[in-house]
Amino acid sequence: MADRRQGTGPAHQLVSRELRAAIAAGNYRNGVSLPTEAELARQHGVSRQTVRRAFQDLVADGTVYRVPGRGTFVTESGGRYLRHHGSIEDLMNLSSDTTMEVLTPLRRRVDTAAAGRLRLDSDVVYTVTFRRIHEGVPFVLTTVHLPEHIARHIVDRTELGVGGRSSHTVIGLLEPRLTNPILEAAQSITVSAADTETAAALDCEPGHPTLRVDRLYSDTTGQVVDLSISHFLPEHYTYRVTLRRSTP
């Protein structure tokens, strides 16, 4: 696993984040148990109490279950792509076990609606449309709109050109190149019927219900840098978020 010092945040959250990435990558399928608390404590250079807290987080959100005397195992997801979202880093790490397949390359265009949501003074945006594939199955169609001054950082990336295929996310490509890091993703979730384009990309019938997720990414100055609109197939995707009580 990655060196936990590369991340930020409480130690138990870093351990649980890395365990989720390993689970999403398929490292513990078919009844293979996760490492023990002692093994993980040695790997990460943390206490067993820290690992125990990380396991508690994973149990609480349904990612794993524990069998006394046997170990900790991954909860079966019924063949769906399961993703737990709890941070901006989790959204970037969607790339760890899926493939992005570009359908319409990143290009300059006029889109009044997208420009308005990006809070731009002009109607010019850069747009790329792609689908994401997990184990050979397309499960989401995403359109990303970027302001022109943000798009210039990645406009020449081959991953976002005609026929581009990669394991990256657009936000993951952008983040290292931005002057100000991304701080927030404002998200709305609705149900939407697949139009002709969506149905063709996701191999479903027009009108098929999809989970629509809109995200507006903002940097530390409050500037909106990315608008993404995704349509997920519910039979191939499970969306999970853990909500915690705030502490005084």
For range 209-220, the mean pLDDT: 93
The pLDDT of residue 70: 79
Of 8-17, 100-109, 239-248, the one with minimum mean pLDDT is: 239-248
The neighbour count for residue 175, using CB atoms within 10 Å, is 19
Ordered by where they begin, the domains of the chain are 4-74 (1.10.10.10), 81-241 (3.40.1410.10)
Q: How confident is the model at residue 32 (pLDDT cuts 50, 70, 90)?
A: confident
Amino acid at 86: G
The phi and psi torsions of 112 (rounded to 5 degrees) equal -60, -45
- Best CA proximity match to 141, nearest among 154, 153, 129: 129
Residue 54: burial class (beta carbons within 10 Å; 0-12, 13-18, 19+):
buried
Contact 150, 173 (CB under 8 A): no
For range 139-165, the mean pLDDT: 95
Residues of the chain with pLDDT > 70, as a percent, come to: 83
For range 1-29, the mean pLDDT: 73
The pLDDT of residue 49: 92
The neighbour count for residue 99, using CB atoms within 10 Å, is 17
Comparing 183 with 67, the larger pLDDT belongs to: 183
Nearby residues of 22 by Cβ (< 8 Å), 6 or more positions away: 1, 28
- Best CA proximity match to 87, nearest among 7, 147, 167: 7
The pLDDT of residue 247: 60
Q: How confident is the model at residue 212 (pLDDT cuts 50, 70, 90)?
A: very high
For range 155-183, the mean pLDDT: 90
The pLDDT of residue 92: 58
Contact 32, 21 (CB under 8 A): no
Q: What would the 3-class secondary structure string for 92-150 be? A: HHHHHHCEEEEEEEEEEEECHHHHHHCCCCCCEEEEEEEEEEECCEEEEEEEEEECHHH
Contact 133, 97 (CB under 8 A): no
The pLDDT of residue 82: 53
Amino acid at 207: G
Helix (H/G/I), strand (E/B), else coil: 184: strand
pTM here? 0.67
The first and second tokens of residue 37, run together, are 């608390």
Helix (H/G/I), strand (E/B), else coil: 71: strand
Q: How confident is the model at residue 86 (pLDDT cuts 50, 70, 90)?
A: low
Mean pLDDT, the chain, whole residue set: 85
For range 178-190, the mean pLDDT: 90
The pLDDT of residue 35: 92
Comparing 72 with 76, the larger pLDDT belongs to: 72
